[in-house]
Structure formats: C-alpha cells, structure tokens
Amino acid sequence: MSANQTPSAPAPGNDSGLAEVPAAAIGTGEPEPVAAPGILKSIVRRPATIAAGVFLLVLTFIAIFAPALAPYDPDVQNLLLRLRPPNAEHWLGTDDYGRDVLSRLIFGARVSLWAALQAAAVALVLGLPLGMIAGYRGGWVDAILTRIMDALMSAPSLVLAITIVAVLGAGITNAMLAIGLVMAPRFFRVARAGTMDVRHETYIEASIALGCSTLRIAVRHVLPNVLPPIILVISVSLGTAVAAEASLSFLGLGVQAPAASWGSMLSTASSNMRLAPYLVWPPGVMIFLAVLAFTYVGDGVRRALVRTRSGN
C-alpha cells in the first residue's frame, strides 16, 4: 500500500480513469495490466488532477511571496480612491476604503490557505490518533469515542463552528480551531476503519507476541495502512476548510479587520453591492477555484487508491 512505483510500465491509453475525460477517451480495448501502477503515477496521469495540483502550487507560491507580488500594500487606505471600478492602476478596482482589491486578493490567499492548513491540522491531530485508538482497542473505548464523533457529525458543521467561536471569541485561530474540531470525525472514521481492517492480521498478532509496544505497532504497522485514505481526507478537508473559513470570515467571526481574507472581502462586497458590483467576483472565483482544485486532487487520490487496491 505504499506509494512506491511498480517496475512494470503500463501500456498507454488503457487507464480506465481517463475514459471519463471526454477529450482523452482513447481506450484501446486491451485488458488491464496485471500490475497496478503506483499511486503517484496513477495520480499524475489524470489531466484534471494535474491541472488542479498545478493551480494549488501556484496559489501556494502566490501566498508565500504575497509581499513581493502584490502591487500595493493591502491595508493602506486611500479615501480619495474609494470604490473605483477596475482600471489600469488598480486591475481589480478598489474597495470602500480605497484599498487595492488585487493586493488584498493576493494577501487573502495567504490567510485563506494558512487557515485551511490550520483547520486540517487540528482535525488530523484530533481524529487520527483517536480513530486509531478506537479501532485498535475496540470495546467500550470504541463505543464512547464513536458516539462522541457521531454526535459531532450530527450537528450542522457551520452552526457548531459559530457556537464555538461565540464562546472562544471571534478571530481566525479560534475559527479554524472550531472548523478543525468539526472536521475531526471524518479523520476519526477513516482512521478507525483502517485500523480495524488490519487489527487482527497475522503480522499485528505476531508483533504483539514478539512483545512490541502498542505505540510501536501503531506507528510501524497500523499507520502505513491508515495513511493513504487519510491523505484523501486531508485533501477534501482542505477544500471544506477554505469554504468554511470564507463563510466564517464573511460573517465577521473569522479574520478580523483590517486583514483580508477571501471571505471578509465578500463581506465588503456585500455591503457595497449597489455601488460596486464588481467587488463580488474576484474573491468568490478564488474560493470556488480553490475548493474545486482540492476536490479534483482528492478525486485523483481516490481513484488512484481504488485502482491500486483493486490491482493488488
């Protein structure tokens, strides 16, 4: 189940996944190769996944080098230039404080991506170990943990996040903590299922008989089985987190003024809809593209996993 490359080179054009991309439907009618391609190779062969991956890399680059790339300081106000539509100096126009929209969009990428990473990290740190413990121990530990996670999942996620932010106070870190907590059950479920799959395998029983510590068994033998589907959940969760951060910041519960995130920029757009309808587009399109890209990458990982599994 590792991401190593299999030596046999698969014949070109018989990738079943490609059949669903209209332009690339070049099935040769040959039977599937016996050896399954490695996960990485399989991901790399889907054009949509590549495009999505490249987009996310570019976005990360933009986020990291935002200060060098942004034409203006995103927080500098110029009230003489309020609500100017897109023009030669300000390509995407200016907002209600005369701030450059393009610069805020670039710095917003920073906030949005970093926030998504934080939320996914919180969900991973909570869900993965608890899921492995529940799957490994079973019994009442499993019953209690599963119940709690089910309850977390049964509450509407944004409602729960809003409540947590209300208690902890508005701010991007608290908001991401809330979203991470809400997303933790996904990681829990996958980790628990993956652990239960291998719990009674001979090599685990053998390790126990050899006297390996539970921690060692968990890290060396269980974790490698749990990780591939977890990677899928991480990718999907990053997309969810970008959207959730946008919602919370839009509601004023996430990033605090004057910092820009795509969600808070939409809040500005909402209150200036009559005078500056152009403000609605840039942040919304960026959120949409980022969510779409994470979904496609996740989809690529999922297809690769299914294929590698069925191939083995």
Site residues, another protein (CB under 8 A): 22, 147-148, 150-152, 154-160, 162-170, 239, 243, 246-247, 250-253, 266, 269-270, 273-274, 277, 280-281, 283-284, 287-288, 291-292, 295
The minimum distance between CB 306 and another protein, in angstroms, equals 15
Q: Which helix (H) or strand (E) holds 241?
A: helix 223-250
The minimum distance between CB 144 and another protein, in angstroms, equals 11
The minimum distance between CB 285 and another protein, in angstroms, equals 9
The whole-angstrom separation of Cα 15 and Cα 21 is 11
CA distances in angstroms from 104 to 73, 100, 110, 167, 276, listed in the order given: 8, 6, 10, 29, 16
Question: What is the 3-state composition of the chain as percent helix, strand, coil, each rounded to the nearest 5?
Answer: 70, 0, 30
Question: Closer to another protein at the Cβ: 193 or 251?
Answer: 251
Q: Which two tokens stand for residue 173?
A: 């870190």
Question: Closer to another protein at the Cβ: 204 or 276?
Answer: 276
User: Furthest-apart CA pair in the chain: how many Å?
Assistant: 76
The minimum distance between CB 284 and another protein, in angstroms, equals 4
The minimum distance between CB 261 and another protein, in angstroms, equals 13
- Phi first, then psi, for residue 94 (nearest 5°) are -125, 160
- Amino acid 218 reads A
Question: Closer to another protein at the Cβ: 198 or 251?
Answer: 251
Asked if 276 and 269 count as a contact pair (C-beta separation under 8 A), the reply is: yes
Question: Closer to another protein at the Cβ: 136 or 250?
Answer: 250
Question: Closer to another protein at the Cβ: 204 or 265?
Answer: 265
What ranges make up the beta strands (E) of the chain?
Answer: none
Asked if 289 and 48 count as a contact pair (C-beta separation under 8 A), the reply is: no
Question: Closer to another protein at the Cβ: 25 or 40?
Answer: 25
Question: Closer to another protein at the Cβ: 52 or 230?
Answer: 52
The minimum distance between CB 64 and another protein, in angstroms, equals 24
Length of the chain: 312
The minimum distance between CB 138 and another protein, in angstroms, equals 19
What are the DSSP calls for 259-302, one per residue? S--HHHHHHHHHHTTTT-GGGGHHHHHHHHHHHHHHHHHHHHHH
